[in-house]
Structure 1
């Protein structure tokens, strides 16, 4: 079966993000995957009254620094394509301890993302910059929340920091 260049590029990216541990790495650290859905690549420029002025790159850098201070690894990935997120969740099953996800608009619509989490049983935390419950009614329902170990929303970029701290608490208490 012939693969198009986009499929090949995705496989390489996923392989790089989800590399296996090697014995030379020493003791296993915790591995977290941060996933961001559609339009989150525009953070800092898109509707700053709802989402703030902090860019996704700034959020990712801050979280990677925080995770590294604990001896943990944090891989970050953003896609505007639902299938990419689903593929990465499937592939993460054998490589990560927990996923933090801001599914963006897929929060309210994606049965496929819900099924990916259900099928892999990877613990995950749902995160949102804005308080989805104080916005338009169609944003009040999350397809993922019933499966998540928790949901954090409404604290702007700090929502991500709270999610990583919650991940640490969850993983260290197991």
Structure 2
């Protein structure tokens, strides 16, 4: 009998995040993500809930309204400035810039657009304002070891993950 996903089961899966309206893939995880069900917050609670009772080989789609997670999109967090006012190290789309206000609060902004004269940064979460589908494929389900339960996932050093998570804009 196949093992089913439940608390203290070690699960490996791959997933992609798809924009529900356009069908575009926003994030693609090519290397399996391993976690211990019920002992890790590696996945969104709505996704974790939908995985319960699933087996290796199952594929599921979980719709997520990102406004529920990240709030409504705030256009005041989108700023465009002349490119000459921006240091050269920030002049690439996708670059993360951490800024601090006069209260010491920080927020991450991402460079989202560059043209010959201007550069635009956006302080909204990249998924803000989107309806997405988490499309998951369960690869492995087994009993987790005590060490994995404590760690919330695999305890070996694992592979070099450089380049296995691609964010597609």
TM over 0.5: no
User: What TM-score bracket applies, with the shorter chain setting the length?
Assistant: under 0.3
TM-score (norm. length: structure 2): 0.23
Higher relative contact order (CA 8 A, sep 6+): 2
Higher helix share: 1
Rg larger in structure: 2
